[in-house]
Homo-oligomer: A and B are copies of this chain.
Amino acid sequence: MVKLSRKERKRAERKEWIIDAAEEVMRRSGFESATMDEIAHEAEVSKGTLYLYFKNKASIHLAISERGSRMLNQSLSKILLLELSGLEMIKKMGQSYLGFVQQYPIYFTAFSYYENLISSNETYNGELAIACEENAREAMTYIVRALQIGMQDGSIKDTYDPKELGIIIWGASKGVIHMAFHKESRNHMRILDDVDFSLDSIINNFVELLGTGMKND
């Protein structure tokens, strides 16, 4: 960590404070409905100040995504330190991801929104966008490391390429959690009406299913 001057520290704090406010507003109004006015009001600063800390609205959104992905990486990274088999690490990562999404649903929404826009919107560029991508790559690396460990300790089949397997696990997990997550937050979601499986049950079975597929016989 770099040592920051008092001024820089204050600036960083303020920035965090604005991100907090933006998260709150977006939690209430959804991402695109959130206006700069609302965010400024919530953060108890003027609209002009927002632009002192963030280049534009997209930057604020990116900052939220970046913060979320950084937090997620923190929990994932810790799992690699545990005394577990590679397979158990992977399972733990799945559960950890789920826990994160449940605790901070706003970040999950932010990620989805981000992924929908980044391909089409030119505003989504610059330092923060790169940081987000870097965080995503980092998350992937944690998964791949766990897979490599598993292949080493014999808990995971080594017939797959660990990177490719990582992509699959990462994508599949996001998909399952996305679906399960929406089941809870949506009223209109009819698909799952007559299904009363809990989110946890779904994830556990998913992890189990993948685990079996990967397991060394």
| CB contact list, A20-68 vs B, under 8 A | 29-33
Whether A30 lies near B121 (C-beta < 8 A) is: yes
Interface segment, A2-10, A77-85, A125-133? Answer: A125-133
Q: Which residues of B contact A165 (CB under 8 A)?
A: 205, 209
Whether A214 lies near B205 (C-beta < 8 A) is: no
Q: State the Cβ distance, A125 to closest chain B Cβ, in Å.
A: 7
Least CB separation from A129: chain B residue: B188
Whether B191 lies near A133 (C-beta < 8 A) is: yes
Among candidates B173, B191, B210, residue contacting A209 with C-beta atoms closer than 8 Å: B210
Taking A32-B32, A213-B210 as contacts, is the C-beta distance between A119 and B191 under 8 angstroms? no
Chain A interface, number of residues (Cβ within 8 angstroms): 64
Taking A113-B116, A118-B186, A197-B161 as contacts, is the C-beta distance between A167 and B202 under 8 angstroms? yes
Q: State the Cβ distance, A67 to closest chain B Cβ, in Å.
A: 18
Give CA–CA (A87, B118) in the complex, Å: 36
Give CA–CA (A214, B208) in the complex, Å: 10
Classify the secondary structure of A's interface with B.
helix
Among candidates B174, B186, B210, residue contacting A178 with C-beta atoms closer than 8 Å: B174
Q: With an 8 A cutoff between CB atoms, is A206 at the interface?
A: yes
Least CB separation from A214: chain B residue: B209
Whether B179 lies near A171 (C-beta < 8 A) is: yes
The 8 residue pairs across chains A and B that have the minimum distance between CB atoms:
A175-B175, A30-B120, A213-B213, A171-B179, A172-B172, A171-B176, A133-B190, A209-B213
**Other A-B pairs, 11, CB within 8 Å; known A119-B182, A167-B180:** A32-B32, A109-B116, A112-B112, A113-B116, A116-B116, A130-B188, A137-B191, A164-B205, A168-B202, A172-B172, A174-B179
Q: Which residues of A contact B (CB under 8 A)?
A: 29-33, 109, 112-113, 115-121, 124-125, 129-130, 133-134, 136-137, 140, 160-161, 163-165, 167-168, 170-180, 182, 185-186, 188-192, 194-195, 197, 201-202, 205-206, 208-214
Between A and B, 7 residue pairs with Cβ closer than 8 Å are A30-B117, A118-B188, A133-B188, A165-B209, A167-B195, A210-B213, A212-B213
